[in-house]
Structure 1
Amino acid sequence: MTVLSWLAVAVFLASYALIATEKVHRVAAALGGAGVMLLIHATGAESAFFSEHSGIDWNVIFLLTGMMIIVGVLKETGVFEYLAIWAAKRARGRPFRLMVLLVIITACASALLDNVTTVLLIAPVTFLVCERLAVPVVPFLIAEVMASNIGGAATLVGDPPNIIIASRGGLSFNDFLIHMAPMVIVLVAVFIGLCWLMFGRRFRYDAERAAEVMALREREAITDRRLLWQSLTVLALVMAAFVLHPVLHYEPSVVAVLGAGILVAATKVTTEQAITEVEWPTLVFFAGLFVMVGGLVETGVIGQLSTAAVQATGGRLETAALGLLGGSAVLSAVVDNIPYVATMSPIVAELVRAVGGDGPGQVLWWALAFGADLGGNATAVGAAANVVVLGIAARNGVPISFWHFTKYGLIVTVVTVGLVAPYLWVRYLM
């Protein structure tokens, strides 16, 4: 590697260390790292702001912005209070039953929506229901974001890296359903068991609080029925457009921004009210992170690491598939899985051709998808949904530290990736 490449690695590692140790605010660390990357010419304005492969992913930024606005308007209707009471009553006030219910809802929703949209919708419900039952909200938030990353792996639209993989590999929505969804169902079931081991035994059932919740009437929580129906109509159209992406060819970011604009224009909600719920620090953090990773892309660091990993397989399909699964999980834990997959997918495409084309070689795409999607659970910055939930938690006065999230994330990642390895071996490599 060149001197500039080593400098870029040093800047990234220093910024990552500041984020992990929380010596400075994560937004300051990301912006500072991005600034230094620009200062040393590891990347430039053209690459940082306009490059599809090494710049800020504006699709992610505007997808988040649009969905945050839609969720902010929905919040004005009281629907989250309604859902909180409904969920608590279905769980009969028992915390772990409630966690299982929310995990299943989150995983299923993430298969149809992208995982960021799902956590934006489920987080407000979680805060309200945990407040009602007087249980700590942090375990629920951590469980939900991990469920969203696992559930999102099931479909083409569930996780942004899957969209990149589908485009590069010529894979359809049904391909993901056939090859990814069956294992995802198993992983969700295993994850519920992990939730019991990590969180469930600590919960305490409060009979008095549960009785109070069971006596509530959820319909009374709705404060504006007209706005609710308007918001739900727009949200349904946005969800439908997400699912129909392969047919309509509208990017999720475009759909989200259009939905937000229509909702604000067609209702009595003011612009000021609409943007109140936008997590601006989270968006800025993403921008800084994208620029830092772009510096590694521009200097060839990520490309060299990926190429070296491919060469290490020696052309053996088994080694390539399992190495790609594990390597993707590790790298996606360190850098956001979106730019990682964007960088790695051309290399995987070449490797697929080298080992025999789309027939036997297609397992490499599933190894990349599983590794990137599940590896995103390992650390607080491994996936977009993680960063969004941490931002929401901090804004609501219950900050989740990098290491608090990561100590659970590493367990979940090791177990889930460990289960995928034999699945790939038995189904594709035997």
Structure 2
Amino acid sequence: MSPQTIPQAIARNFLGQAPEWYKLAIIAFLIINPILFQINPYVAGWALIVQFIFTLAMALKCYPLQPGGLLAIEAIAIGMTSVDHVMHEIETNLEVLLLLIFMVAGIYFMKNLLLFLFTKLLIRVRSKTMLSLAFVFSSAVLSAFLDALTVIAVIIAVAVGFYSIYHKVASGKDFSADHDHTEDSRIEPLTHSQLDEFRAFLRNLLMHAAIGTALGGVTTMVGEPQNLIIADKAGWGFVEFALRMAPVTIPVLIFGLITTVCVEKFRVFGYGAHLPDKIWLILAKYDAYTDARLSKMDIAKFWVQGLIAVWLIIALAFHLAAVGLIGLSIIILATSFCGVIEEHSIGHAFEEALPFTSLLCVFFAVVAVIIDQQLFIPVIDWVLTFEGQSQLAVFYLANGLLSMVSDNVFVGSVYITEVKQAWLNGQITRDQFDLLAVSINTGTNLPSVATPNGQAAFLFLLTSALAPLLRLSYGKMVWMALPYTIVLTLVGLFFTWEFLPQMTDVLYDMQLIEHHSALPTSESPVGGH
């Protein structure tokens, strides 16, 4: 190879098969950022956020880890943040990373039971509206006690199972054959339209389930990571947290379910796709096929996986250990009692989670830039200038808008810390602090469904191996989430503004919750922590 061809080869290798315009855009970002940082660091920080969101939006063109990682490395190199700060953010979110690594892998070893149960559900519930409601409501209930990422991992495993069954049959193979469900070239011509319809059907169920994780995740202190932070800052227990949130979360759940019915009935925003009869027949035959061939060993595995599922729910609900460690226990139990002892067999379970774990570490670098460049400080200072009920509404909207472009865990933790400091400094009363804590929690959880980067569960779904198979892009997720975004945001805002103070007073009168009037003994009113 001549020396002249080396740069061409490097340019061709850069970001692989991504479109040329995409490669040029990333190169332009890398050139512009150092210049912009020298001129105005604040503007450069916001430019980095927009660029990172761009890489997420183009996830089907190129996995965001590589372009997003290049932007993060450059940000550290030019001084927008430091390696130590990035490491601090990773350490702070270590439980989330362990959750991804171990819990998603643990669900992989329970996929046979999950596919068996959900196939029964899909075959017996022929009404698409009822099926959609079942996915939304079950995801909401599970997410109130489990982690949303765990729930999404379950739904993804089920959807992959459904997709691979149909794809195998459409490719002319029987149920027992090995098959690569990512390759469409052998699909018979007449089945391509059926495959597109089936993809749309699965997209509907996945988005309903994702929305369900948000509806349930906002209700309890264990539903989302920022909920735990808020509960800790406010000194609330599990029951008190749920009761304080109820004036907003219960109406939002009801209106969320109504929205599910509406989008399915009117077939808007990409919803309303039905399971074709031919595909239903394939799944029914597969169900009969598996039932006929169930051995005593298979049944024993189902029982073991069922008992492990019970352990999972109990362990997560009562916080018997860190979520990641519970996931590791699932891997150990499921592999031990189901006879999976080869290293390469275990390794496959980690293929889905590790790329996203790496991407999340890159995201934490962007969060470090947000903190170091104080990108949210002007918004926080502005919000604190409001008073009374208007302050509740402004806090709700500010948290929601910032959560759409950033991480809702980060936004929630920043705001609750600032609000607690305002209370300790005597700027607000304890009762107002409690109301603002509710506003922060609902604000970070509800409007953030607008974009995949708003919630980790949505981002995990977007960057999963299933998303390209179902043609689920960033833009499509935003579009399909739009009706929920509008309804959840407006309903949450209305009940936060109009009914939260009054309903909280009712809870006080009924002695279901108590006034927290005294300052923490370890903290003084002036001087902070």
| TM-score clears 0.5 | yes
Aligned twin of 1:425: 497
Number of the residue aligned with 2:452: 380
What's the counterpart of residue 328 of structure 1? Answer: 399
- Please tell me whether Structure 1 or Structure 2 has the larger radius of gyration of its CA atoms: 2
Cα distance between partner residues in 1 of 2:293 and 2:460: 26
| Cα distance in structure 1, aligned partners of 2:247 and 2:257 | 16
Tell me the equivalent position of 2:106: 70
Amino acid at match of 1:40: I
Give the partner amino acid of 1:108.
V
Distance 1:344 1:222, change over 3 A: farther
Partner of 2:156: 123
The residue correspondences of 1:123-202 to structure 2 (distance < 5 A) are 123-129=156-162, 135=198, 136=200, 137-181=202-246, 183-200=248-265, 201=267, 202=272
Instruction: Go from structure 1 to structure 2 and tell me whether the alpha carbon gap of 1:56 and 1:32 turns closer, same or farther (over 3 Å shift).
Output: farther
Q: Deviations over 1:110-130 (max 9, x none)?
A: 111011111111222244457
Distance 1:88 1:9 in 2: 45
1:254 equivalent in alignment to 2:325: yes
Moved more, 115-124 or 221-230: 221-230
Counterparts of 1:36 and 1:156, CA distance in 2: 37
- Between the aligned partners of 2:335 and 2:470, the Cα distance in structure 1 is 30
For 2:372 and 2:313, how far apart are their aligned partners in 1? 35
The 1:197–1:326 alpha-carbon spacing in structure 2 relative to 1, beyond 3 Å, is same
Give me the whole-angstrom Cα distance separating, in 2, the residues matched to 1:229 and 1:158.
Answer: 28
Q: 1:47 to 1:348 in 2, by over 3 A?
A: same
- Give 1:25's aligned residue: 63
Task: Describe the superposition over 1:174-228 as per-residue Cα deviations: whole angstroms up to 9, x where unpaired.
Answer: 1222122464343233223323443443334645655676674575586733333
- Offset, 1:328: 0.8
Question: How far off its partner does 1:55 sit?
Answer: 6.3
Query: 1:421 Cα shift?
Result: 2.0
Alignment of 1:16-415 (within 5 A): 16-21=53-58, 24-49=62-87, 51-52=88-89, 57-75=93-111, 78-91=112-125, 93-129=126-162, 135=198, 136=200, 137-181=202-246, 183-200=248-265, 201=267, 202-204=272-274, 206-207=276-277, 210=280, 216-217=287-288, 219=291, 224-245=298-319, 248=320, 250-264=321-335, 267-269=338-340, 270-278=342-350, 279=352, 280-302=354-376, 304-313=377-386, 316-353=387-424, 354=426, 356-392=428-464, 394=466, 397-415=469-487
Tell me, yes or no, if the aligned pair for 1:79 and 1:221 is still in contact at 8 Å: no
More deviation in 399-408 or 62-71?
399-408
C-alpha contact (below 8 Å) 1:329/1:375 kept by paired residues: yes
> How far 1:107 moved relative to its partner?
1.0
Pairwise CA RMSD? 2.9
Q: Give, in angstroms, the shift of residue 299 of structure 1.
A: 2.5
Q: How big is each residue's C-alpha offset from its partner over 1:212-261, in whole Å with a ceiling of 9 and x where there is no partner?
A: 7667457558673333333333343232222112xx5x332333234434
More displaced 10-residue stretch of structure 1: 259-268 or 284-293? 259-268
Partner Cα distance (2:500, 2:259) in 1: 27
2:54 counterpart letter in structure 1? A
User: Residue 48 of structure 1: CA displacement?
Assistant: 0.8
- Alpha carbons 1:332, 1:340 under 8 Å: kept: yes
- In structure 1, the residue matched to 2:13 is none
Rounded Cα–Cα distance in structure 1 between residues aligned with 2:51 and 2:231: 34
178 and 311 in structure 1: CA distance in 2 versus 1, 3 angstrom threshold: closer
Which stretch has the larger CA shift, 353-362 or 371-380?
A: 353-362
Q: CA deviation at 1:162?
A: 0.7
CA distance in 2, matches of 1:361, 1:221: 60
CA gap of 1:393–1:317, structure 2 versus 1, over 3 A, is farther
CA separation in 2, counterparts of 1:312 and 1:24? Answer: 43
Shift of 1:352: 4.2
The 1-side partners of 2:162 and 2:129 are apart by 13
Q: Supply the AA of the counterpart residue of 1:102.
A: F
What is the letter of the counterpart of residue 163 of structure 1? L
Q: Structure 1: which 5+ runs fail to align?
A: none
Report the alpha carbon displacement of residue 424 of structure 1 after superposing the two structures with TM: 2.1
In 2, are the aligned partners of 1:360 and 1:428 still within 8 Å (CA)? no
- In structure 1, how many angstroms separate the alpha carbons of the residues matched to 2:433 and 2:336? 49
2:381 partner amino acid: A
Q: How many residues align?
A: 419
Alpha carbons 1:55, 1:290 under 8 Å: kept: no
State which drifts further: 403-412 or 287-296.
Answer: 403-412
Displaced runs of 4 or more, over 6 A: 130-134
Aligned equivalents of 1:265 and 1:209: distance in 2?
35
Change (3 A) 1:221 1:150: farther
What are the superposed Cα offsets for residues 289-323 of structure 1, whole Å, 9 maximum, x if unpaired? 11111111122223x1343233332xx12122111
**2-structure distance, mates of 1:186, 1:90:** 30
| Paired residue type of 2:447 | G
Of residues 384-393 and 140-149 in structure 1, the stretch that sits farther from structure 2 once superposed is 384-393
Q: State TM-score, norm by structure 2.
A: 0.72
CA gap of 1:21–1:126, structure 2 versus 1, over 3 A, is closer
Q: Distance in 1 between matches of 2:69 and 2:75?
A: 10
Give me the TM-score of the superposition, normalised by structure 1.
Answer: 0.87
Alignment-derived partner of residue 174 in structure 2? none
Identity of aligned residues (%): 18
Q: Does the aligned pair in 1 maintain the 2:106–2:328 contact within 8 Å?
A: no
Take 2:215 and 2:382, find their aligned partners in 1: how far apart are those partners?
Answer: 25
Distance in 1 between the 2:210 and 2:482 partners? 14
Which region of structure 1 is more displaced relative to structure 2, 275-284 or 127-136?
Answer: 127-136
